[in-house]
A and B are shown apart, each in its own frame.
Chain A
């Protein structure tokens, strides 16, 4: 049997989930034996194969139109879509922005900050992705596996990935669904 093809991409997040993924330590070698790792943010291949992959993993929340596009592409090309970490599952820390008006948040970031030169403007180049209300991945595309945690523990990530690599749908319960 061919190894399952796995892709990973990040949306609006802090890369903490990827750090936690690396925390699985030497077990990553077992995973590499089990799967064919395709596109990730740190490999040369940046987008999932057009021909389709078995598992797509997304971390981070959907924060702008670019994130939305990435999520749609991943959904279209992956048989199983995993939302990894609180930002992907719920919106997480990124979604705290939703308590403010988007204009206020942008103004604070680009105009009002103490280190900003006077006269600065909010970038408005049409090439740029447009920020929007922060959403969980599940609000944009259908998610098959939700893995909450900020970040999810390495053991939880290993469980999810190894189950998927062996063709099973991972189930999170008991100790794998506890953060205290």
Chain B
């Protein structure tokens, strides 16, 4: 530990801590712009200058490591003067008329810094040079006029996401943030995760959907969980007057620490289509608005006689975007009470969690942090579960070796030390081949089976055997394979299985993991929530004698239904999600649902009551 004094306060921090972090730990806030707690210190803006006794000049506290007996002053007249001067230079460098802007929303860190220093004006005028604005990206814009060249976006793009799209061109006053080698953002290698806009301290990178739509004090922030996939990223829903303005990554969330992908950040703001606002019941061949009593009664009178009829009874499908509570209620009502053996989710059937078979190999996404070799087998982390992909990609510059085995197309292969494309379904043979090579056995047979050259397999094996910590990220078809278990046995590798949608794991725990097959059934019950039914599902229910749907939005499925219950969307529902690691996280209500819309759980409970059942809704908290 190092002992130092900041503003007269004795502080003890670990060696290597910066003065900025040491001050923060002591509750002393030092103004800053380029610094961000999730990013490597850069020392670019100079707003954090402090006085260090004995030092020749003021020192940037964000890059200055503490040393023993250091004496730091953060708020002397000299420091305050320097800050004002730094801000004056920043304001006059480009076109920052935002210092007195009344619509900034209060979240412009540059403006707030000027307020904090009590700046009423700046003595240097700008040079009245317009800078380029890049509006080519569908979700956000880059306005170089507002840029202070803090490079937070560039560091976030590389260090946090591992994408390295953003960079700078030119030098000095001509320095400009660019994508790739100077192409428009919309045509660049940008993957639209939006982390850059979340870290931008000014309005240089702004979100098209929410810019100028609400000041900080007029908007509400609710922490919740993303329902985009099974990674379970923590999100912050920013709302105003019951409208979703934008979604931010929650810096405090255990899984993603602020990161989000396009699916989690931008796509939930797309127009979801027509909302169903009242219960609907089919009368004389057409769906008509009905009261809740009526709709519940119609559904109950159809379902009740089917109790215990199993094979000829009711076929049930639920969305894995529903809360654990709702999935539990579906399972309880139709499984335990009505005795239907036909429970499924819209998702593909998924295997049981690895934990149940080989708990000693179970890794978590956090294991990726210090892995020096990552093997991705049968999972496309660029297309799905993207944030898990970010964790892999960002570890590569630190020297982590990457091996990708996938029969399909997989963009992660571009970054891999060894990328292997075996025959369809032959990933296991490659893993077995790697294992054989590690053990010094011949792998010719595996090479033949998989179609991957033996020397490639041997090369990958040499990386795996040389690594200190191997993490295998395995897709749904892979993680229970014997070859992987053996590989883990031989190398001490951790296996992170990655599959499914937001609550697939909870659905499986409630036995909602069968195959949906409505043929021969007398009724179909679909608990869709806000999920969009695919064509397969639409075709499946064609010709079903009686269809009951819980849905938030109108679709071909609701159009074909006999009874439709309007339910809450992901942003409106409250409950729990179980991520792919088995972590149980709470989803909170960010938006108030329309008047006649019920939660999925309430619909199921009311339906059960009508049939004389009482749902315990006793969802388990351990998965």
Contact = CB atoms under 8 A, between A and B. Distances in A.
A and B physically associate: yes
Interface of A: 83, 86, 89-92, 95, 98-99, 133, 135-136, 138-139, 143, 146-150, 172-173, 177-180
A166 to B, nearest CB: 20
A90 B97 contact: yes
A150 B102 CA distance: 8
A146 B215 CA distance: 25
A177 B102 contact: no
A179 B121 CA distance: 14
Nearest to B129: A99
B132 to A, nearest CB: 13
Given A180-B105, A180-B106, A150 B100 contact: yes
Nearest to B97: A90
B216 A136 contact: no
Contacts of A172: 118, 120
Q: Which of B97, B106, B123 has the most CB of A within 10 A?
A: B97
B105 to A, nearest CB: 7
A89 B215 contact: no
B447 to A, nearest CB: 65
B145 to A, nearest CB: 10
Contacts of B121: 83, 89-90, 136, 138, 143, 146, 148
Given A138-B121, A138-B123, A180-B104, 16 more contacts: A86-B97, A86-B100, A90-B97, A133-B128, A147-B120, A148-B100, A148-B120, A172-B118, A172-B120, A173-B118, A178-B115, A179-B101, A180-B102, A180-B105, A180-B106, A180-B217
A99 B102 contact: no
A149 B100 contact: yes
Contact of A95 (B103, B128, B216): B128
Given A180-B102, A180-B217, A146 B120 contact: yes
Contacts of A95: 128
A108 B102 CA distance: 30
Contact of A91 (B101, B103, B125): B125
Nearest to A171: B118
B99 interface: yes
A105 to B, nearest CB: 12
B211 to A, nearest CB: 14
Contacts, number: 55
Contact of A180 (B103, B123, B128, B130): B103
Nearest to B218: A180
A177 B120 contact: yes
Contacts of B125: 90-91, 135-136, 139
Contacts of A147: 120
Nearest to B123: A138
A38 to B, nearest CB: 25
Interface in B146-201: none
A179 B120 contact: no
A1 B125 CA distance: 40
Given A83-B121, A138-B121, A180-B215, A98 B101 contact: no
6 contacts: A86-B97, A95-B128, A99-B128, A99-B130, A135-B125, A143-B121
Contacts of B123: 138
Going nearest first, the 7 A-B pairs with the smallest beta carbon separation are A179-B102, A98-B128, A146-B121, A146-B120, A148-B100, A180-B106, A173-B118
Contacts of B122: 90
Given A136-B121, A136-B125, A138-B123, A180 B216 contact: yes
A66 to B, nearest CB: 21
B493 to A, nearest CB: 52
Contacts of B105: 180
Q: Which of B100, B130, B216 has the most CB of A within 10 A?
A: B100
Interface string B101-121: 111111000000001001011
A150 B103 CA distance: 11
B99 A148 contact: yes
Contacts of B120: 89, 146-148, 172, 177
B100 A90 contact: yes
A99 B127 CA distance: 9
Nearest to B104: A180
Contacts of A146: 120-121
Contacts of A150: 100, 102
Nearest to B105: A180
Interface in B53-107: 97, 99-106
